[in-house]
Chains A and B, each alone.
Chain A
């Protein structure tokens, strides 16, 4: 074969190493930066994030927009769907639904956040100790986890609620009573995997205490999976809170939570469906947003799990 181009002699001079085109490597990115980039690329997760931010803003600013409050009854204006000033109408006791929905949303979210916080504290401690110490400690703690896991959580929550006075903290405690179990399983599995790694050995040879190794070296590396688990435990807590109110074991009127509002809405469903519709919509949006964010975080923080 003959080249069509005329080749010049000088082209056959050796190429100095400095003249060689070296490979341009993509800039190294950190774990979190990378995760954020993947999260942003996930449309569903972004929608979820925007929805939840909007919802929180409205939940705090919205109630300032009309002059009512969530608990004042006025029977002369009960069950009015369209009434000036009452954006979402009034309920059967003439209370402003707009106020009640946002108040209820805040209460539900508060319960969910407290429950999620307790899940993290208990789950991380339990899972961390179980995974880190291994051996006998682990096998006993594993049995406990297995038993906890095989009890239908709804039964436990109901029994606890029969025992506890309904209130924000008792409900959160009851939810956390079973809610920490998935968290503990996740953390234990991660710690088991991490504890054999070099940097743990290094820390140990340098005389770090178990407590220090566990909480300063290992747990920070499990933050990703913990955040994912929390994101999913929030909608689950919101669901159970509403569920409890619905079967009459949760908060009770005149207090408001999304569960109570949905329950109240059911009483008048045939005549005034809007009283069920609005709280149910807010409830669904909250659950949807957290589930979307959770899915996005799982894909972003744990690329291996994404397939």
Chain B
């Protein structure tokens, strides 16, 4: 598989007059053609910021890419001009966002919002773009698309709006679709529909998808690979099976344990990870999870663990992987 997005050593900082927040502190990953990669982690772990900074959607200042390279099809897009970047956004890499209520412009017809992207990237007339918008709405399963195309976002239900967002993102057949918590703001039943839609569209178009979420249940539905983020770093990454059946990082264990299960009895408490992530104004020198980790060792507080390979596709940044550390087993054996 050919890599389409290669990110290495990405550092992003938000600077204001009074302090700076080191939101992304050295992130490396690769997205290949046609694969679905899920990025999971708590809010504030940096998963959205990573991709918004790749897309250059964060206002600068305060945000700034301090360091790192982002190769899109082999070209470093941190070096290109804003005009060049505009040709990539929406055409090569498209994005859908968490809240379809606020992510669509309330005063512009849905059809026009879809057409805008086509007119920009494919140099078609408004009429052609609008006809195409009808097709797109049909493709994402919106009934009577030729009427819907002339309606305003507030006339759509939440699920419909997210479908319209997807139609807008797919308008120019992007090679990479970044879905930033696309189901978080929706009802559970609608969530499943949207996931199914994304899965089908992915099969049809073969584009790659980055799926940002904090919901591991969704991850299991759709992802080929998973990257777990914590405090601005990727702490573990592997295939879906590796992460679900052979997780190595205590944070991943915690995440999996906090997932509700059908086979859980009612009197069993849902596990949670005590504490909260560290402030990224003064991030800890060592492993950021130390303060919440039940297996923390002295070294964890002093030094950031190296990334080690558990397999070719499975990487973990944890001192427990070191030969000198005590052997700790995943406390919950996956029962799937």
Any B CB within 8 A of the CB of A1:
yes
Report the stretch among A11-19, A54-62, A296-304 that lies at the interface.
A11-19
Whole-angstrom CA separation of A22 from B325 in the bound complex: 23
Partner of B324, one of A12, A19, A23: A12
Say whether B322 contacts A1, CB under 8 Å.
no
Which residues in window 315-336 of B have CB below 8 A to A?
319, 322, 324-326
Report the stretch among B39-47, B90-98, B192-200, B290-298 that lies at the interface.
B290-298
Chain A contacts for B298, CB-based, 8 A: 10-15, 19
Contact A20 B325, CB 8 Å, known A1-B306, A11-B302, A12-B319: no
The closest CB in chain B to the CB of A25 belongs to B279
Which of B290, B295, B298 has the most A CB atoms < 10 Å from its CB?
B298
Chain A contacts for B306, CB-based, 8 A: 1, 3
The closest CB in chain B to the CB of A3 belongs to B306
Whole-angstrom CA separation of A20 from B288 in the bound complex: 11
Chain A contacts for B278, CB-based, 8 A: 23
Any B CB within 8 A of the CB of A7:
yes
CB 8 Å contact bits of B97-138 with A (1 = contact, 0 = none): 000000000000000000000000000000000000000000
Q: Beyond A11-B299, A12-B297, A15-B300: 20 further Cβ-contacts under 8 Å?
A: A1-B307, A7-B322, A9-B324, A11-B297, A12-B298, A12-B299, A12-B322, A12-B325, A12-B326, A15-B290, A15-B301, A20-B290, A20-B301, A21-B284, A21-B290, A21-B301, A22-B291, A23-B276, A23-B278, A23-B279
Chain B contacts for A13, CB-based, 8 A: 297-298
Partner of B295, one of A3, A11, A14, A20: A14
The closest CB in chain B to the CB of A22 belongs to B291
How big is the B interface, by class?
20 to 34
**A residues neighboring B (CB under 8 Å):** 1, 3, 5, 7, 9-15, 19-23
Chain B contacts for A3, CB-based, 8 A: 306
Whole-angstrom CA separation of A189 from B31 in the bound complex: 51
Partner of B303, one of A1, A5, A20, A22: A5
**B residues neighboring A (CB under 8 Å):** 276, 278-279, 284, 290-291, 295-303, 306-308, 319, 322, 324-326
Whole-angstrom CA separation of A216 from B297 in the bound complex: 54
Say whether B299 contacts A14, CB under 8 Å.
no
Contact A20 B324, CB 8 Å, known A1-B307, A15-B290: no
Whole-angstrom CA separation of A22 from B303 in the bound complex: 16
Q: Tell me the smallest distance from the CB of A209 to a CB of chain B, in Å.
A: 41
Q: Tell me the smallest distance from the CB of A277 to a CB of chain B, in Å.
A: 40
Q: Tell me the smallest distance from the CB of A220 to a CB of chain B, in Å.
A: 31
Closest 3 A-B residue pairs measured CB to CB?
A: A11-B299, A15-B296, A12-B325
